[in-house]
Structure 1
Amino acid sequence: MKKMKKWQLFTLIGVATVVVIGAASMLLTGNKSSQAKTDSKFKVEAVQEGSVASSVLLSGNVSANKEQYVYYDSTKGDLDNVSVNVGDQVTAGQALVQYKNAEAQSAYDTAVRALNKVDRQIYNLKTYGTTVEVTGDEATDQQTSNSAQRSVDDQLKDLQDSRADAADNVNKAKAALDATTVTSNGEGTVVEVNRDVSKSTTGSSQTLVHIVNNGNLQVKGELSEYNLANLSVGQEVSITSKVYPDKTWTGKISYISNYPKESQAAAAAASSGTSGGGSSVKYPFTIDLTSEVGELKQGFSVNIEVKNNTQGILVPVSSVVEDKDKNYVWTLDKNGSAKKVEVTLGSADAEKQVISAGLTKDSKVISNPNSSLKDGQEVEYEETH
């Protein structure tokens, strides 16, 4: 067998190597092209109807839904008596505090005497009338009698007017006298009594009696401006307490203020010219319990989870794009063309976004849009579920 020259062998090996590398390069290029084609496909997903699983966490304090504070009021007179004690159960209309006011009592007594005097005058006039002298002349006597009757009628009308004025005075005097007795607005338990109050003008801020109704508790707290935009009256909540970690209460938001606390509003206005001004402003809210009060007590600190019960159109979070402070999604029409649609966002969780306006329940959205998309562009896509 004829031996091949050494340089010829090297040449053949080099050619074979080039062929192999070229083939591999073509195969790899083909795979990359195929992969790029696959990656260029957009994913399209039909919208769903439902609600997201997100919730809002708040904190608050348990307070009495119905409570009454009786403050010292020097305008009612001198404090005479506090007729209840701590722990007493009171009913509506029950006397709590009695003031002594000589002027109010005197005014009432005077008004009553004036009314009684008018009543006596009316009685005497109706009973005895007036005396008429008879002359024996029938015509003259008749004329005199008629004149006397008219006089009695006029006097009676004047007395009736006087009685109406006297009755008004009695009512006013009685209202002033009744105000010296402070009564309970409803049923409850007396939780505070203070009989030693200052009689100066500064004493008007002192509590004489504090009554609460523990059978009807509420939860009150404050929420941020962000939560203000995402919560509404009527939403259901779940309530827990560190004191009883294994128990849960339910409730509903019954009130959300549209205005921050006065002191906080003033602070926000004062700091509006600085960065972050107003970020700590809080808005009061109230929750009514819908379950049994149980072991909850006034003053307890509680944690609140607001359940998201808002139903709406759901799209993947990844489908939402933001442009110039507005939100959009790309939809796909029946011809396979993309369309940019402005939407209004609702609540969201890690996967789904609620669309409150802009889409219909039969819309299809592109879940992986990119910056190259244009309105009316035909796209290659695959539907996902």
Structure 2
Amino acid sequence: MFKSKKAKIALFSGLGVASVALVGGALLFSNALGGSGSAGEDFTLPMTYRVVQEGSIASSTLLTGTVAAGEEQFVYYDPSKGDISEFYVEQGSQVEVGTALLRYDAYELQTALDSAVRGRDKIGRQIYDVQNGGQTLPTTGDPALDGEAAASAQRSIDLQLADLNDAYADAQAAVDKAWTAVNEATVASTVSGTVVEVNKSVSKSSTNSQTVIHIVNQNSLQVTGQLTEYDLANIKVDQEVKLSTKVYPEQTWTGKISYISNYPANDQTAVAVPGGGGSGGGAKYPFKVTLTSDIGDLKQGFTVNMEVVNTSKNILVPVTAVVYEDDKTFVWTLVDGKAKKVEVTLGNADALNQEVTKGLSVGDHVIVLPDFDLQEGQEVEADEEPAN
């Protein structure tokens, strides 16, 4: 089918309008970018520079741990001491070091102590009698015979006293042991804190250790966890951490790593896992974090996430400023308004900043995003960009 002449004219007219619109739009876009609209002219974005400063990059080390008490006491039932006759504290009680917590029935222990004291005192009286009772010896009138008899009697007394003194020492040891047993019938607190558990229904027939009283020092809360062998190389004692928990997502806490074990937990041994990476298999090393901020709403048993704070200071440049050529790295600097290419040695980096360990000094002007065709000594007009 053939179109009419009128239809053809309308079609060509429409194409002409569209062509004019496209050309006009291109000219307007070119003028808006500051160009003259001449054909073949290249457009480049204006460059900026940043004054080099020292700073710290964000840490990439994230850890998890559990809130635990640094100071706590578990009192376990001791069936060898008999029945518990009295509890001196209740759940929620505040105690100090040395506060009496409970007492076992000490009747038999006290009886044993009394018996030991009597046995010791009896021996003491025998010693006194031998030392002070005196002894009469018959005389024969012969000085030699009488002297020999006296010497023999004295040796007998000395041996008797020696045996009695040994017996007295043994009796005193028995008294001390019985006295200790009586004192240990009363169990005292070894930490200051809050009584969080009192179990008065212990079973004498149970062979398992049964907690009778549990005391926690809430002011000693800390965070415990385990480092992988990969984290171990990057974490040091006294490094600061930021803590958060899903229970209170709007709150944060601060802490400091106070302990890192040199030995794997539970006698673990490292197991090489090909391609395992930092989250793969391997040994786990216990660590502890001491809280340096108010405990607030944190509770024992909470799971927390921790970001290790990087406090090391290094020269920082924008990651976009680094140019890679072969096996070397460079940045472009501005010196008296001209471009200068500087070889640098890099450290760690985060999403925004790159550490430079060699090649730059504080105060240097580094081009944030250099052109690919930038030349050594080329005059450059650039505005200062504030640091992040």
Q: TM-score, normalised by structure 1?
A: 0.62
CA contact (8 A) 2:76 2:211 kept: yes
Q: 3-state SS of the aligned residue for 1:92?
A: coil
Aligned residue in 2 for 1:210: 214
Aligned residue in 1 for 2:125: 120
Q: 3-state SS of the aligned residue for 1:215?
A: helix
Provide the C-alpha distance between the structure 2 equivalents of 1:313 and 1:129, rounded to a whole number of angstroms.
Answer: 97
Provide the C-alpha distance between the structure 1 equivalents of 2:355 and 2:187, rounded to a whole number of angstroms.
Answer: 56
Q: Pick from 233, 238, 248 the counterpart of residue 234 of structure 1.
A: 238
Give the direction of change, closer, same or farther, for the CA distance of 1:163–1:360 in structure 2 (3 Å limit): farther
Letter in 1 for 2:158: D
Structure (1 or 2) with the greater helix fraction: 1
CA contact (8 A) 1:80 1:99 kept: yes
Aligned residue in 1 for 2:312: 310
Q: Pick from 176, 182, 196 the counterpart of residue 171 of structure 1.
A: 176
Aligned pairs for 1:247-286 (under 5 A) are 248-262=252-266, 265=268, 276=276, 279=280, 282-286=284-288
CA contact (8 A) 1:236 1:306 kept: yes
Letter in 1 for 2:187: V
Provide the C-alpha distance between the structure 1 equivalents of 2:356 and 2:140, rounded to a whole number of angstroms.
Answer: 105
Deviation at 1:175, TM superposition (A): 3.7
Identity of aligned residues (%): 51
Provide the C-alpha distance between the structure 1 equivalents of 2:104 and 2:120, rounded to a whole number of angstroms.
Answer: 26
Residues paired across the two proteins, number:
315
Aligned residue in 1 for 2:354: 352
Give the direction of change, closer, same or farther, for the CA distance of 1:316–1:120 in structure 2 (3 Å limit): farther
Provide the C-alpha distance between the structure 2 equivalents of 1:258 and 1:354, rounded to a whole number of angstroms.
Answer: 32
Letter in 1 for 2:121: N
CA contact (8 A) 1:55 1:308 kept: no
Aligned residue in 2 for 1:298: 300
Aligned residue in 2 for 1:287: 289
What is the alpha-carbon root mean square deviation over aligned residues? 4.8
Give the direction of change, closer, same or farther, for the CA distance of 1:88–1:121 in structure 2 (3 Å limit): same
Provide the C-alpha distance between the structure 2 equivalents of 1:52 and 1:146, rounded to a whole number of angstroms.
Answer: 94
Aligned residue in 2 for 1:65: 70
Provide the C-alpha distance between the structure 2 equivalents of 1:207 and 1:320, rounded to a whole number of angstroms.
Answer: 65
Provide the C-alpha distance between the structure 1 equivalents of 2:377 and 2:232, rounded to a whole number of angstroms.
Answer: 40
Aligned residue in 2 for 1:4: none
Q: Pick from 88, 91, 98 the counterpart of residue 83 of structure 1.
A: 88
Q: 3-state SS of the aligned residue for 1:169?
A: helix
Provide the C-alpha distance between the structure 1 equivalents of 2:174 and 2:74, rounded to a whole number of angstroms.
Answer: 30
Give the direction of change, closer, same or farther, for the CA distance of 1:382–1:284 in structure 2 (3 Å limit): farther
Provide, for residues 95-134 of structure 1, a one-character-per-residue CA deviation record: whole Å limited to 9, x for no partner.
Answer: 3233347775565444333322222222222222433335
Q: 3-state SS of the aligned residue for 1:152?
A: helix
Provide the C-alpha distance between the structure 2 equivalents of 1:100 and 1:146, rounded to a whole number of angstroms.
Answer: 54
Provide the C-alpha distance between the structure 2 equivalents of 1:290 and 1:135, rounded to a whole number of angstroms.
Answer: 92
Deviation at 1:67, TM superposition (A): 0.6
Letter in 1 for 2:241: V
Aligned residue in 1 for 2:187: 182
Give the direction of change, closer, same or farther, for the CA distance of 1:101–1:201 in structure 2 (3 Å limit): farther
CA contact (8 A) 1:129 1:152 kept: no
Provide the C-alpha distance between the structure 2 equivalents of 1:206 and 1:160, rounded to a whole number of angstroms.
Answer: 44
Provide the C-alpha distance between the structure 1 equivalents of 2:260 and 2:356, rounded to a whole number of angstroms.
Answer: 23
Provide the C-alpha distance between the structure 2 equivalents of 1:180 and 1:360, rounded to a whole number of angstroms.
Answer: 73
Provide the C-alpha distance between the structure 2 equivalents of 1:211 and 1:298, rounded to a whole number of angstroms.
Answer: 12
Aligned residue in 2 for 1:161: 166
Q: TM-score, normalised by structure 2?
A: 0.61
Letter in 1 for 2:217: N
Provide, for residues 11-61 of structure 1, a one-character-per-residue CA deviation record: whole Å limited to 9, x for no partner.
Answer: xxxxxxxxxxxxxxxxxxxxxxxxxxxxxxxxxxxx997643325333333
Letter in 1 for 2:306: I
CA contact (8 A) 1:48 1:361 kept: no
Aligned residue in 2 for 1:39: none
Aligned residue in 2 for 1:7: none
CA contact (8 A) 2:56 2:313 kept: yes
Provide the C-alpha distance between the structure 2 equivalents of 1:154 and 1:298, rounded to a whole number of angstroms.
Answer: 66
Provide the C-alpha distance between the structure 2 equivalents of 1:73 and 1:248, rounded to a whole number of angstroms.
Answer: 43
Q: 3-state SS of the aligned residue for 1:171?
A: helix
Letter in 2 for 1:307: V
Q: 3-state SS of the aligned residue for 1:279?
A: coil
